[in-house]
Structure 1
Amino acid sequence: MREGGGACGGGTCPGRGASERAPLRGTMSRDHSDATRSGRPRLVGWIIIAAVALVGTLAAPAAAQPVEEPKAYAGDFWSRPRLTGDWGGFRDELATRGIRLDVDLLLTPQGVASGGRDTGAEFWGNAEYTLNVDTGKAGLWPGGFLRVIANSGFGESVLGASAALSPVNTAALLPKPNDPTTALLHATFMQFLSPQFGLIAGKVFTLDGAHGEFTGNYRTQFLNGAMTFPLTSALIPLSAYGGGIVALPWEGVVLSALALDPSGTPANSDVSEAFRDGVMMLASAKVAIKPFGLVGHQGVTGMWSDKERPSLTQDPSNIARGMASEKFPLLDDPGPGLRRILERFFPDLLVPVEPLNKKSDTWTVFYSFDQYLWQPKDDPKRGIGIFFSFGASDGNPNPLKYTYNMGIGGNGVVPGRPNDNFGLGWARKDFSSEFVPFLRRQLDLGLNHEDAIEMYYNASVTSWLNATLNLQVIETGQKKMVDSSGSLKDVNTTVVAGLRLLARF
């Protein structure tokens, strides 16, 4: 659904002589036993899943269908909503029974035209397979919705070559960054108990909870991660098991709360491993507004997790170990680049002399809005508007303290092109002062902030094919890196140009 932030999603880097080898004062973790840390969160998760399984057999009216669907698959080559049409009527028959199967192909070739770590072009692609089942239409019980999404990534991307710490291609994070593989992203069952209240459980693809009018959908809108979601959500997993509630108390208001496995990944589909090292709680409120009759959305989301993570405040000898043992799911992993710097200039720091400091919890909060400034009369899906988001975090263990993005977007405003859209945006990421302070002082690495400007035009070639031109200009956060000769070189402004093709089969 094209709502400002989604109903049930998580929405939701870079940056140590003798005297400085002394241990830095860090925050040590609480000493939780394995049984305590794994038992309580897993019990919460299983209670949620069991509750949904029990109510799945209850009859209740659905308040809304959670996916936007074509009315019919039939049509000529240019007008049909999917390339393969209605399969001789079989596909439309399945749809009347609440079963829909789609296959999408997303191709995102990009090239680093200047700056960055290396120039050159690469080709990345994703095949996505989606199954939706409406239990009411299937003749089972009303109010139930099953949604399953799998994704295959293939090729190579320019994530590393760009030197940017925010991903210049969000699609290249899936299912694993620069790793051709297939994985289950999403497998949830939602059951509405009344028109205003529902439960959801399963494996949640959090990126699909960030869709707005002008940002959030990397398939048809901005590609850069900083424009797609607030990057203070860097510790939120891309895909994780969990469950929660969704409430629709009034028209245009969506409230949701989720408990997620903080260590979930698209590649791990073993539900028995969920909640072993803690729990992550996400809560959000989304409100649709219409000032002067123009569509807009306001939203706020908060995250808290008790997963124990490496602190950013470490003895310099623990820099490499801290980076190696902690991943930031929504960022281009800074660990390998920082390790190369340590190997070249401070090899003695690769041997730890102190235990790894830990943080026992983390939090982040972000606010966003989008607002049309002009719309054609009686058409709520077209027009020109603005968007803005702001995020803040604890700054440790999260390497990003504050993030912002803003810009303008348009849907269906070019004469004769009612299904095209475009956007122009700016994003900034302010790094935590506690992120690798030793390297920042010794080598002047920067890691204060990173700015990105992105512009795109997405053309609807047919009802089932979209083609996009995309340009990004990035003032990278890490100002120096080790080149192939082992020398430290400056990182200049990165310019990334790309195409995107989305074909729906």
Structure 2
Amino acid sequence: MRTIIKIALLSSLALSDAAQCDETASGVNFSGDLLSRSKLTGDWGGIRNDMAEKGVTVDLDATHVTQHVASGGYDGSLLSKFPGNRISPLLPDISETESDAMFNMLLKVDTGKAGLWPGGFLTVRGEGRVGDSVGIRAGGLLPTNGDAISPAVPGHTNQDVLALTELTYAQFLSEQFGLAFGLINTADGDKNEFAGSIRSRSHFMNVGMRFSPVSGAAVPLLTTLGASAIFMPTKNIIGSAGFINAEETAGYNPFERTDGTTFLTEWQFKHTLAGLPGKQTVGFVYGFDRKKLDIGADSRSQLASLIQTGEAVKTNADTWALYYNAHQYIQGDSKGGWGPFLRAGVSDGHPNPIKWNAAFGLGGVGVGSWRPNDNWGIGGYALGASDEPLVNQLGINDETGFEAFYNAAISPWLHVTADVQYIDSALTGANLPRVNLPGPKEAWVVGVRTNLNF
């Protein structure tokens, strides 16, 4: 029962990344020599294994990203002509090459293994970020470095931050049903085995490939108060449904940021096709009472870095979004194989600045028998802008992009990703009072990501 409960918890509510699941439950421990053990710092003289046996795991991982705008995007000399007023003063300081680092600290307690009561799981997470990303220099509406937007502290885009991003308790009442509540982290939602999620550090880098941004008007990027029910009617169907606050609360008192409420539900369906595994995920969100949406404060787009309008989209209407993703192996499985993936989403476009999105491509695990632990992906994305007056005023149209990555497992605790992107930007030119900023050129961006698990 415990193993089934863990699978449901990890998959349906996205309370923890699959790569950070309980070590001992999966038959792996922290011991071993430097190149074979699961974590860099090992078993701490046996203490770490003993803690895991008693239901307590502590993880720390760090990710460093360097990206270079090889061509196109915004010209730095052009941006420096707008050192304030409506144009963000950050822009003249962003060069063609930037580096930043992200930190993730995770504590998990299994109350059953701890000898307290069965079926309880406590998760505490803190995240930090230092350095700069290339941001708007690449010219895309969506960030080319999705790792750099966490933690998503409002008003601190591209700044050094440290925040509590999860404090959640989940209690399973049976093998088919559980409840979770607290400071919920949403970054693993809309997860795809080949394309990744917002939290992933081993898949695509561009935000457009990692999740469907149509949910942005109703679901905060990372952290908010909420409660959810978890369902697992069969071993192949896992679902969740609940309510959360619509505002991002990372770095703030969550009880003071309560503008709007969102109902959300996500369901995953595992299946086989010609004996090969696959999975489909469908999610729906509906936002109530969202009086305004500051589209310049959401780090899932570059608007906060490009334009400081002092305006927000005001609305008295509810908002909704529907998203879908799927992957299907056409050779092998998660231990070594490849196949296509697809994700798509649509919203009412009010007040969400993105009306629809799509991403598709090929992904795989392993390259023959000589690189079994590597993974790779190649694909493209597209998005369509809504007809909100402020969105039109900012000169936002449709955007398309392409990306390819290869993630090499140097050891179980060290992964290095090479990445290349092409962006045909949605930003055609901003026309606001005292500002007439031309649109960016089509851009090529190359990057290297290093993920280290301690």
* Deviation of the 1:259 alpha carbon: 0.8
The 3 A distance-change label for structure 1 pair 193 and 426 is same
| Kept after mapping to 1: 8 A contact 2:314/2:351 | no
Aligned amino acid, residue 169 of structure 1? N
SS in structure 2 at match of 1:258 = strand
| 1:103 partner amino acid | L
Does 2:376 match 1:422?
A: yes
Aligned to 1:495: 444
For 1:460, the equivalent position in structure 2 comes to 409
- Distance of 1:380 and 1:225 partners within structure 2: 23
User: Match of 2:100?
Assistant: 124
- Between the aligned partners of 2:435 and 2:299, the Cα distance in structure 1 is 29
**Per-residue deviation, 1:448:** 2.2
Contact 1:454/1:470 (8 A) holds in 2: yes
Gaps of 5+ in 1: 11-63, 311-321, 341-349
Trace 1:347-362 onto structure 2 (pairs within 5 A).
357-362=314-319
Q: Which residue of 2 aligns with 1:304?
A: 286
Change (3 A) 1:422 1:289: same
CA contact (8 A) 2:140 2:302 kept: no
Does the CA-based 8 Å contact 1:160-1:332 persist in structure 2? Answer: no
SS of equivalent to 1:95: helix
Query: Which residue of structure 1 aligns with residue 236 of structure 2?
Result: 252
- Secondary structure in 1 aligned to 2:167? strand
Q: Please report how far the alpha carbon of residue 488 of structure 1 lies from its aligned counterpart in structure 2 after TM superposition.
A: 3.8
**Matching residue within 337, 340, 347 for 1:383:** 337
Percent of aligned pairs sharing the same letter: 34
- The CA deviation at 1:279 is 1.0
State the TM-score, normalizing by the size of structure 2: 0.85
Equivalent residue number for residue 40 of structure 2: 83
* 8 Å contact from structure 2 (residues 34, 40) kept in 1: yes
Residue 32 of structure 2 aligns to a residue in which SS?
coil
User: Are 1:6 and 1:210, in contact at CA under 8 Å, matched by a contact in 2?
Assistant: no
1:178-189 to 2 correspondences below 5 Å: 178-189=158-169
TM-score (norm 1): 0.77
Q: Aligned partner of 1:464: which letter?
A: W
Q: Give, as a single letter, the amino acid of the residue that structure 2 aligns with 1:412.
A: G
Conserved? CA contact 2:135–2:305, under 8 Å: no
Which has the larger strand fraction?
2
Task: Summarize the Cα distance change of 1:92–1:480 in structure 2 as closer, same or farther, 3 Å threshold.
Answer: same
Distance 2:314 2:61 in 1: 44
- Matched residues, number: 415
Deviation at 1:159, TM superposition (A): 1.3
User: For the Cα contact (< 8 Å) 1:234–1:328, is it kept in 2?
Assistant: no
Distance in 2 (CA, whole Å) between partners of 1:414 and 1:146 is 39
What is the CA-CA distance between 1:363 and the residue it aligns to?
0.6
Instruction: Give deviations 1:242-282, integer Å, cap 9, x for gaps.
Output: 011000000110111121111132212x34336x3331110
Structure 2 unmatched runs, 5+: 1-5, 77-94
Q: Distance in 1 between matches of 2:184 and 2:438?
A: 41
Q: Is 1:478 equivalent to 2:403 in the alignment?
A: no
AA at the equivalent of 1:152: G
Q: Distance in 1 between matches of 2:336 and 2:191?
A: 16
- Tell whether the 8 Å contact from 1:277 to 1:308 is kept in structure 2 after alignment: yes
Larger Rg computed on CA atoms: 1
Q: For 1:285-364, list aligned pairs within 5 A.
A: 285-310=267-292, 325-327=294-296, 329=298, 331-335=300-304, 337-339=306-308, 357-364=314-321
Q: Is the 8 A contact 1:451 1:476 kept in 2?
A: yes
CA–CA separation in structure 2 for the residues paired with 1:277 and 1:487: 33
8 Å CA contact 2:136, 2:306 repeated in 1? no
Establish whether residue 93 from structure 1 lines up as the match of residue 50 from structure 2. yes
Judged with a 3 Å threshold, the aligned counterparts in structure 2 of structure 1 residues 432 and 173 are, in CA distance, closer, same or farther, namely: same
What is residue 170 of structure 1 aligned with on the other side? 146
> 2:13 matched to 1:8?
yes
- For 2:314 and 2:56, the matched residues in 1 are separated by 50
Superposition CA RMSD, Å:
2.7
Alignment partner, residue 153 of structure 1: 129
Q: Would the aligned equivalents of 2:143 and 2:302 in 1 still touch at CA under 8 Å?
A: no
| CA distance 1:489–1:78, shift in 2 (3 Å) | same
In structure 2, relative to structure 1, the CA distance for the partners of 1:434 and 1:195 (3 Å cut) is same
8 Å CA contact retained: 1:374, 1:384? yes
Q: What do the CA deviations read for 1:219-263 (whole angstroms, capped 9, x no partner)?
A: 000111110001112222021110110000001101111211111
Q: Which amino acid aligns with 2:161?
A: T
Contact in 1 for aligned 2:338/2:363 (Cα 8 Å):
yes
CA distance in structure 1 between the aligned counterparts of 2:226 and 2:38, rounded to whole angstroms: 33
Residues 459, 468 of structure 1: 8 Å contact kept: yes
What are the equivalent positions in structure 2 for 1:263-274 lying under 5 Å apart? Answer: 263-268=247-252, 270-273=253-256
CA deviation after TM superposition for structure 1 residue 338, in Å:
4.2
SS of the counterpart of 2:122?
Answer: strand
